[in-house]
Chain A
Amino acid sequence: MLNNIFLLLRQELTLSVLIFLLLFIKLGRERSNSSILNFVNSALLINLTIGLVLSAKGELFSGMFSTNTLMILEKNILNLAVLIISMQSYVWLKNHNQVIEFYLLILTSLLGMFFLISSGNLLIFYLGLEMSTIPLAAAANFDLLKRKSSEAAMKLILSSAFSSGILLMGISFLYGTSGTLTFSILTAHIGNNPLQIFAFILLVSGFAFKISAVPFHLWTADVYEGAPIAVTAFLSVISKAAVLFTFVSILYKVFQPIASTWYLILMILAVVTILIGNLFAIRQDNFKRFLAFSSIAQVGFILIGISGSSIAGSASLIYFILIYVFSNLAAFGVVSVVSALTGKENIADFKGFYKTNPLLSWVLTIALFSLAGVPPTAGFFGKLFLMMSGAAKGNYGIITFAALNMVISFYYYLRVVKAIFMEENETPIEKLSIPILSKIAMYICVAGILVTGLASVVYDYIYSLSFGL
């Protein structure tokens, strides 16, 4: 039993140990920021490695917690993303007074996500979700002297409390109609019972809040703009990824009996999400708001992929998230370095960026091309495979819609590329010296963007682990 706990829970345990260590370091004598940062980054690297070494499959606590190779992979993706974000925020955190608190918050949130992914019961699912959200609201407030930052935190906590309320209501209806909270038993009780459909809609709304699908996206742009970039990156990549992983597994496993109902709901959500995300992204001037709306549009594509409800559906979701981690974090990495060193965050500030910072420009360009889905970057494969699995049900209308929306999204990504390469600026961003950790993080992202797509092994591996209806 004990062995089993150590094996199955090892990612969660490592993370908990790390959190406690940080607490003790905080209690001890004052240390310099850079030594703390070096320690945390190496610890996160070890954390990632521990997740990579062994695969295991099993259940704990009478089915409350379950894990398998796929979930371990999902957690590894999140671990990797946290490591990258941590390396990228080096510049910002080096001069921050509360470094350890920042890590405590985001690592606790990550721990919550791990339990969320591994949940086998609606209770632990809810606990995981809350544990992952509440620390983030505090982290969003981490630019302590900026009013926008605390506004962002307020908006995040209010909207997530609201969405949790809706989610809880859905859960309680489900419990009322089926008498159980365990996923594996729940499936047998799901039918086209109106109250259950209603419960399901509430549940989906709760999820839609977390992944900021339209019409539940209103908090996104403000929070992304106000929060420090590291937290924005965390919110837009990691927290979305964790919720999406859970969403697809709950849809495919628990709500499998009403697949035809949720197929329709997903379609409607996908269409409005892509459209609104795209149309609003066109008009943004602030880079973080821009990435917020572009990430809303990306979620729309993900929903299309999930709606295919085949093995290819969940495989393409996980594959896309992996790519999304690399591409979005590469973009956020550049923006965070620029913002930390110059305080500039608007797209217009990036005019003429190539003349002074060619390396950063290329990283940003490759990232944006990957987000837009241009070959040979991985984003091309990711988006195409999502659309392919969406088309598997013969729904060509939505594929046409999505394909044409890719063109719209192409416009606003190119707008940034245009600013970087082709436009003149009287006060361009001066040549920045990039700290080595940020540089490594960027190289990892770019390598990921170039390799994940062309090397089919990655997709085939994910496919071999995935599940479908």
Chain B
Amino acid sequence: MNLSLLILVPLITALAILFAKGLQQIRVIGLVGAITQLGLAIWLLKLYMGEKATGNKAAHLFESNYTWFTTLHINYHIGIDGISLAMILLTAVIVVAGILVSWTMDKLSKEYFFLLVLLSMGAYGFFISLDLFTLFFFLEVAVIPKFLLIGIWGSGNKTNSAMKLALMLMAGSALVFVGLMGIYYNTNTFDIVKITQMGISVGVQMFFFPFAFVGFGIFAALFPFHTWVPDGHASAPTAASMFLAGISMKLGGYGCLRIAALMPEAANAYSWIIITLATIAIIYGAFATMMQTDLKYINAYSSISHCGFVILGIGMMNKTSVNGAVIQMVSHGLMTALFFAAIGMIYSRTHTRQVAQLGGILKVMPFISTVFVIAGLCSLGLPGFSGFVAEMTVFMGSWQNPTGAYRLATILSGASIVVTAVYILRATGKTIMGPISNEHALLADATWNEKLAAGLLITGILIIGLAPFLINQLIMPTTNILMSPITKAITLK
């Protein structure tokens, strides 16, 4: 299958939206495009597993390579492995859900859906790129839609949040760019496959790894560059919050992983810093969440904590922990998207997100409340949901590191789950249980589109939670390939 289809479908959808008339046409086109894309992604999964079953051991499948800028050695080189496929599936699911929850968006709907689709196109392009320049191109394509989505359709202090988010992400990409320049001028290529074969000299790695890693880290809410996360997520409209947490933050995690695999020696040398920052993010995020009173802020701060696990998994640098990091990315994507969807549904009815003003909505909105509880339970890592599988894998991987300090980091991160349980249970309890205020007593439950969106996301969460071997089958072979240079680097040392 030609992977360019994954970029073409959103592109055509976006153009079709531009020429559509009226909300009905626009949203139908958006949905059809998103479902086509989801179908493509699932079909791709089938093809990929088929190839793997026949014993194809290649690191990347369905590669195609076109020259883009000849003289600068820039190629449009695309291909997928298990990890990128997992990310593509995640993106496809969230895009469908996001479009479903924005079904009634009537303010500038054309621009809104156009930007959503454009953002998803950036993400797809990013995940299939095997050329660092192309990767960088798509990374930045995804920034501007976020700025406009938050600034135009957001709530609260939206322009400031949008500005903060855009500037911090741009600063992130500026750092990534410097890192890429360092790689480029020492290997004379942007091609990830070639660079992996060639290897980069250790001196160069030590100098440029921090740039690239921190750059992508800003996208993934690496402490202390996480400050765009709470405001950005809280101000964004529902679908944009889902995209931000579900897709956009994953760009960062995925980028960090790729960079670590490209520069294994440096990643190993700096791993103690990465782990320290990740542990701080996990604990700080969890405690900061406890202080929040706004549902969106609660979810946004908990995202910092959860994304800390992704960074922790990558920093621990062994097969199990990296596996865990990837599962955590997928799980967190689905879970926060679900959480934000539920919050959006509540907010659109009650017009408040303050925990103190809500209560007892279970009586009038049983479906939405159930969704809310499921998202909460997944977030605190209840077995049976994806959050448990992901965090468990990260801990198991981290524990394999025998050094005392690493053990301490693992224990501290593990302890944060207790804090998570506190804030999740408190927020859930206060929101859906207890007496209901009179003004909320007559509100209606979820509509078909909201049910569909939630159902889709919950299915994803349950598949990972109940049958973790499925996703393991998909990503394990890739992590093995990806981690082999790193393992070599560690053992050599």
Tell me the A residues contacting B by CB distance below 8 Å: 311-312, 315, 369, 374-376, 380, 384-385, 387-388, 391-392, 394, 396, 399-400, 403-404, 406-407, 410-411, 414, 417-418, 421-423, 456, 459-460, 463
Whether the Cβ atoms of B152 and A388 lie closer than 8 Å is: no
Whether the Cβ atoms of A387 and B181 lie closer than 8 Å is: yes
Whether the Cβ atoms of A376 and B152 lie closer than 8 Å is: no
Contacts A391-B185, A399-B181 known; A411 to B167 CB distance under 8 Å?
A: yes
Shortest distance from the beta carbon of A324 to any chain B beta carbon, whole Å = 19
> Which residues on the B side are within 8 Å of A376 (C-beta)?
137, 141
Closest to A462 in B: B71
Shortest distance from the beta carbon of B159 to any chain A beta carbon, whole Å = 5
Shortest distance from the beta carbon of A466 to any chain B beta carbon, whole Å = 10
Contacts A411-B163, A418-B159 known; A388 to B181 CB distance under 8 Å?
A: yes
Interface string of B154-196 (1 = CB under 8 A from A): 0000110011001100110011011001101100000000000
> Which residues on the A side are within 8 Å of B182 (C-beta)?
396
> Which residues on the A side are within 8 Å of B185 (C-beta)?
391-392, 394
Contacts A456-B69, A460-B69 known; A403 to B174 CB distance under 8 Å?
A: yes
Interface string of B229-250 (1 = CB under 8 A from A): 0000000000000000000000
Closest to B138 in A: A375
Q: Give the one of A315, A394, A406, A456 with max B CB within 10 A.
A: A456
Whether the Cβ atoms of A369 and B140 lie closer than 8 Å is: no
With beta carbons under 8 angstroms apart, the residue of A311, A312, A392, A422 that contacts B151 is A422
Whether the Cβ atoms of A418 and B141 lie closer than 8 Å is: no
> Which residues on the A side are within 8 Å of B159 (C-beta)?
418, 422-423
Q: How far is the CA of A377 from the CA of B170 in the complex (A)?
A: 15
> Which residues on the B side are within 8 Å of A404 (C-beta)?
171, 174
Asked if B72 is an interface residue, CB under 8 A from chain A, the answer is yes
> Which residues on the B side are within 8 Å of A391 (C-beta)?
181, 185
> Which residues on the B side are within 8 Å of A388 (C-beta)?
72, 181, 184
Q: How far is the CA of A385 from the CA of B73 in the complex (A)?
A: 12
Shortest distance from the beta carbon of B163 to any chain A beta carbon, whole Å = 6
> Would you give 13 A-B contacts (Cβ < 8 Å), ordered by A?
A369-B144, A375-B137, A376-B141, A387-B181, A388-B72, A396-B181, A403-B174, A407-B167, A407-B174, A410-B167, A418-B151, A421-B148, A422-B151
Q: A374-B143, A394-B185 are in contact. List 18 more A-B contacts (CB 8 A).
A: A375-B138, A375-B141, A376-B137, A380-B137, A384-B177, A385-B72, A396-B178, A396-B182, A399-B177, A399-B178, A400-B178, A400-B211, A406-B174, A411-B167, A422-B151, A422-B152, A459-B71, A460-B71
Q: How far is the CA of A153 from the CA of B162 in the complex (A)?
A: 41
Of residues 92 to 140 in B, which have CB atoms within 8 Å of A's CB atoms? Answer: 137-138, 140
Asked if B43 is an interface residue, CB under 8 A from chain A, the answer is no
Q: How far is the CA of A423 from the CA of B144 in the complex (A)?
A: 17
Whether the Cβ atoms of A463 and B177 lie closer than 8 Å is: no
Q: How far is the CA of A376 from the CA of B119 in the complex (A)?
A: 12
> Which residues on the B side are within 8 Å of A418 (C-beta)?
151, 159, 162-163
Query: Interface size class for chain B?
Result: 20 to 34
Closest to A419 in B: B159
Of residues 218 to 266 in B, which have CB atoms within 8 Å of A's CB atoms? Answer: none
> Which residues on the B side are within 8 Å of A387 (C-beta)?
177, 181
Whether the Cβ atoms of B70 and A460 lie closer than 8 Å is: yes
Closest to A385 in B: B72
Asked if B68 is an interface residue, CB under 8 A from chain A, the answer is yes
> Which residues on the B side are within 8 Å of A380 (C-beta)?
137, 140
> Which residues on the A side are within 8 Å of B148 (C-beta)?
417, 421
Whether the Cβ atoms of B151 and A421 lie closer than 8 Å is: yes
Closest to B182 in A: A396
> Which residues on the B side are within 8 Å of A399 (C-beta)?
177-178, 181
> Which residues on the B side are within 8 Å of A456 (C-beta)?
67-70, 74
Closest to B121 in A: A376
Shortest distance from the beta carbon of A426 to any chain B beta carbon, whole Å = 18
Q: How far is the CA of A16 from the CA of B412 in the complex (A)?
A: 79
Q: How far is the CA of A312 from the CA of B166 in the complex (A)?
A: 30
> Which residues on the B side are within 8 Å of A403 (C-beta)?
174-175, 177-178
> Which residues on the B side are within 8 Å of A410 (C-beta)?
166-167, 170
**3 tightest CB-CB pairs across the interface, nearest first?**
A403-B174, A422-B151, A456-B69
Q: How far is the CA of A391 from the CA of B178 in the complex (A)?
A: 9
Whether the Cβ atoms of A406 and B181 lie closer than 8 Å is: no
Asked if B388 is an interface residue, CB under 8 A from chain A, the answer is no
> Which residues on the A side are within 8 Å of B152 (C-beta)?
421-422
Shortest distance from the beta carbon of A407 to any chain B beta carbon, whole Å = 5
Q: How far is the CA of A458 from the CA of B374 in the complex (A)?
A: 53
Q: How far is the CA of A380 from the CA of B182 in the complex (A)?
A: 19
Q: How far is the CA of A294 from the CA of B190 in the complex (A)?
A: 31
Contacts A399-B181, A422-B151 known; A459 to B175 CB distance under 8 Å?
A: no
> Which residues on the B side are within 8 Å of A384 (C-beta)?
177
With beta carbons under 8 angstroms apart, the residue of B71, B137, B167 that contacts A463 is B71
Contacts A403-B174, A421-B148, A460-B69 known; A375 to B181 CB distance under 8 Å?
A: no
Whether the Cβ atoms of A406 and B141 lie closer than 8 Å is: no
Q: How far is the CA of A418 from the CA of B166 in the complex (A)?
A: 12
Asked if B147 is an interface residue, CB under 8 A from chain A, the answer is yes
Closest to B215 in A: A403
Q: How far is the CA of A328 from the CA of B166 in the complex (A)?
A: 22
Of residues 42 to 78 in B, which have CB atoms within 8 Å of A's CB atoms? Answer: 67-72, 74
Shortest distance from the beta carbon of A416 to any chain B beta carbon, whole Å = 12
Q: How far is the CA of A455 from the CA of B138 in the complex (A)?
A: 16
Contacts A418-B151, A456-B70, A460-B69 known; A374 to B140 CB distance under 8 Å?
A: yes
Closest to B67 in A: A456
Q: How far is the CA of A68 from the CA of B185 in the complex (A)?
A: 32
> Which residues on the A side are within 8 Å of B70 (C-beta)?
456, 460
Closest to B140 in A: A375
Q: How far is the CA of A374 from the CA of B171 in the complex (A)?
A: 13
Contacts A407-B171, A418-B151 known; A312 to B177 CB distance under 8 Å?
A: no
Q: How far is the CA of A411 from the CA of B68 in the complex (A)?
A: 30
Shortest distance from the beta carbon of B118 to any chain A beta carbon, whole Å = 9
Whether the Cβ atoms of B69 and A374 lie closer than 8 Å is: no
Whether the Cβ atoms of B184 and A374 lie closer than 8 Å is: no
Closest to A409 in B: B170
Q: How far is the CA of A418 from the CA of B151 in the complex (A)?
A: 7
Whether the Cβ atoms of A374 and B177 lie closer than 8 Å is: no
> Which residues on the A side are within 8 Å of B181 (C-beta)?
387-388, 391, 396, 399
> Which residues on the A side are within 8 Å of B68 (C-beta)?
456
Shortest distance from the beta carbon of B457 to any chain A beta carbon, whole Å = 30
Closest to A459 in B: B69
Shortest distance from the beta carbon of B213 to any chain A beta carbon, whole Å = 15
Q: How far is the CA of A403 from the CA of B174 in the complex (A)?
A: 5
Closest to A464 in B: B71
Whether the Cβ atoms of A414 and B178 lie closer than 8 Å is: no
Q: How far is the CA of A456 from the CA of B69 in the complex (A)?
A: 5
Shortest distance from the beta carbon of B46 to any chain A beta carbon, whole Å = 31
Shortest distance from the beta carbon of B21 to any chain A beta carbon, whole Å = 15
Shortest distance from the beta carbon of A146 to any chain B beta carbon, whole Å = 34
> Which residues on the B side are within 8 Å of A374 (C-beta)?
140, 143-144
> Which residues on the A side are within 8 Å of B177 (C-beta)?
384, 387, 399, 403
Q: How far is the CA of A5 from the CA of B12 in the complex (A)?
A: 51
Q: How far is the CA of A391 from the CA of B69 in the complex (A)?
A: 17
> Which residues on the A side are within 8 Å of B74 (C-beta)?
456
> Which residues on the B side are within 8 Å of A460 (C-beta)?
69-71
Shortest distance from the beta carbon of B402 to any chain A beta carbon, whole Å = 37
Shortest distance from the beta carbon of A366 to any chain B beta carbon, whole Å = 10
Q: How far is the CA of A417 from the CA of B144 in the complex (A)?
A: 11
Q: How far is the CA of A410 from the CA of B169 in the complex (A)?
A: 11
Q: How far is the CA of A384 from the CA of B178 in the complex (A)?
A: 11
Shortest distance from the beta carbon of B115 to any chain A beta carbon, whole Å = 11
Shortest distance from the beta carbon of A340 to any chain B beta carbon, whole Å = 27
Closest to B148 in A: A421
Q: How far is the CA of A385 from the CA of B151 in the complex (A)?
A: 30
